Chain A
């Protein structure tokens, strides 16, 4: 896998610090798991965080904290048993995704379908798998919020270049783009989206009311 498009560094630093909301953390995490370059960056921030932990002013904890910890350790050594994977044995999905419950595929437009990913509800962004037919021209669209896209299979291209497996595309409301899906096969992307997707143009206005992205 040759990855040529990476998340912005600030996003990686927020990921390393644990600041990202769930949908964004998921998309960045799947990229980082496959991208040694970004994994190094994340690890560097974690090292800085470790140094910060060493330097921080200690704050007294409850006097019985150690004893309580020891009794919890001895009480339940079973607590660590691994929970079942939510998506079971779907090995076509990246490992980080397999622990999420993923909804049924829903057709949203000709050649375009999505599967929602069930998140905890702690954040504002939604996450879903978006599948586009090979060679299709996706509808010209604008975002009202931010959109993080990671290619899992196939490819798409827009004015920013070509995006293949592992490539990360960061879109915000400034961008008005119209990706074209590669001919080699369907394009499956993991998407985190805040706000709504606005479909532009006549066709968009026509089908807009039916598209619930």
Chain B
């Protein structure tokens, strides 16, 4: 059984000593290179690690990490700590860049030398709109904490690390059927908690 330790947000645990939101704010207001360097050193290797877990090649993971950090610099002024935690915001940027990378590649394969289509528009815009729709990020963080550690873990393994169900069963030492039912329960539970909180 894997230790199901999960730190949600920056409100608890030893990691709370660095205020990432504050560093992003300094990048936005002062183009603070030192603040950016600290963000880079912390997040770039983690983005690479998460992208590798999710099935990217080493080159792809490196490129996504690099491009995510550049996007953090450019979009720092869009970050609103009231609507999202810094790691969640950074995750959405990396996620959108991964989507862009695979689509650009598919389009290039299909069109070969044709450069008629405009560049892929900024996917992150949509995420930003999503983020701003719901102001009460703390409420969502509270809802997530009501999930059991087992439920959070199975959601993470299945959706975020994109591991196949049989592998999750092996990792957690539970039957395959339990993986599926636990995911379903976690989904229902999260929906219920969020509906109650609304």
Please give 17 more A-B residue pairs, beta carbons under 8 A apart, in addition to A49-B156, A58-B48.
A10-B187, A13-B159, A33-B133, A40-B140, A41-B194, A43-B131, A44-B144, A47-B141, A50-B89, A52-B161, A53-B87, A59-B48, A65-B44, A65-B66, A66-B41, A68-B66, A85-B121
How many residues does chain B have at the interface if contact means C-beta atoms less than 8 Å apart? 83
Number of A-B contacts (CB under 8 A): 198
Q: How far does the alpha carbon of A46 sit from the alpha carbon of B128 in the complex, in Å? A: 12
Which residues of B are in contact with A by a Cβ distance under 8 Å? 5-9, 15, 33, 37, 40-41, 43-50, 52-53, 61-62, 65-66, 69-70, 73-74, 84-92, 94-96, 98-99, 102-107, 109-110, 117-122, 126, 129-131, 133-134, 137, 140-141, 143-144, 152, 155-156, 158-162, 183, 187-188, 190-191, 194-195, 198
In-complex Cβ contact of B134 among A40, A52, A60, A62 (8 A): A40
Spot the interface stretch: A17-25, A173-181, A188-196, A199-207. A17-25
**Interface secondary structure of A, over-half rule:** helix
A79-130 with Cβ < 8 A to chain B: 80, 82-86, 95-96, 99, 101, 120-122
Chain A, interface size category, equals 35 or more
The reply on A16 being an interface residue by CB < 8 A is yes
The reply on A171 being an interface residue by CB < 8 A is no
Given A44-B144, A53-B87, A56-B53, also A14-B159 (CB < 8 A): yes
Verify B187–A70 contact, CB threshold 8 A: no
Nearest CB of chain A from residue B18's CB, rounded to whole Å: 11
Across the A-B interface, the 5 shortest Cβ-Cβ residue pairs = A50-B88, A122-B106, A50-B87, A58-B45, A9-B187
Which residues of A are in contact with B by a Cβ distance under 8 Å? 9-10, 13-14, 16-19, 22, 25, 29, 32-33, 36-37, 39-62, 65-66, 68-70, 72-73, 80, 82-86, 95-96, 99, 101, 120-122
Q: How far does the alpha carbon of A168 sit from the alpha carbon of B85 in the complex, in Å? A: 29
In-complex Cβ contact of A25 among B45, B99, B141 (8 A): B99
- Give A66's nearest chain B residue, CB to CB: B40
Q: How far does the alpha carbon of A122 sit from the alpha carbon of B195 in the complex, in Å? A: 35
Q: How far does the alpha carbon of A58 sit from the alpha carbon of B46 in the complex, in Å? A: 4
Which residue, A45, A56, A60, A84, has most C-beta atoms of chain B within 10 A? Answer: A56
Complex A-B: 21 CB contacts under 8 Å: A9-B191, A13-B158, A18-B95, A33-B126, A39-B130, A43-B134, A44-B143, A46-B91, A47-B8, A47-B141, A48-B152, A48-B160, A49-B91, A49-B156, A52-B160, A53-B94, A59-B52, A61-B45, A69-B66, A86-B121, A120-B104
